[in-house]
Amino acid sequence: MNDRADTFARAFGDALRQFLDDRGISVTAAAARMGMNKQTLSSYWTDTSEGKRNKARAELLFLACAELDFEFEFQGRTVSARPSSGAKGQKTPPQMARDYAEEFELQDRKGRLSVRLKRPPGRVEVSMSLKAVSEKRRA
């Protein structure tokens, strides 16, 4: 077996179970929303007799993310689903923002520039703010 696939299967199952518990969603309700039976769904967070986990197909990952607003981190990456910008009547699940914030001195040493960078799927968002320091404050 592929160690990375086994690691992903365990991380996915644990995260999905924790997600359902945290939100008070029953296994029966989650399975119904995803169009499957609860025994199949629970098999993703229950070890087999060999100590392995069932590996989720792409369809299951999509259904968990799209139907339950589930997302999780695996090895520094967020696994989630969001509707395309043209989708109507669907809400976009929250996205993880990777912030870059650092202060540095400007050339004249009279202010501060803050830069924030977000990289949601398909685009890059940058925001900057400049704070001037008055001579009175510096005295």
Calculate the average pLDDT of the chain: 76
Look at residue 100 in the predicted model and tell me its pLDDT: 43
For residue 111, what are the contacts with CB-CB under 8 A and spacing of at least 6?
130, 131, 132, 133
Q: Where are the domains of the chain?
A: 3-79, 97-139
> 133 pLDDT band (50/70/90 cuts)?
low
Cα 1 from Cα 11, distance rounded (Å): 16
Query: From the CB of residue 34, how many other CB atoms can be counted at a distance below 10 Å?
Result: 19
Look at residue 72 in the predicted model and tell me its pLDDT: 86
Residue 16 has pLDDT above 90, yes or no: yes
Look at residue 94 in the predicted model and tell me its pLDDT: 43
Q: Which superfamily is assigned to 3-79 in CATH? A: lambda repressor-like DNA-binding domains (1.10.260.40)
132 strand-pairing partners: 111
For residue 98, what are the contacts with CB-CB under 8 A and spacing of at least 6?
117, 118, 119
Q: Which of 115, 65, 56, 116 is nearest to 94 (CA)?
A: 65
Residue 112 has pLDDT above 80, yes or no: no
Q: What is the pLDDT of residues 59-109, one digit of tens each?
A: 888 888 888 888 888 888 888 877 665 555 555 444 444 444 444 445 555
pTM, rounded to two decimals: 0.57
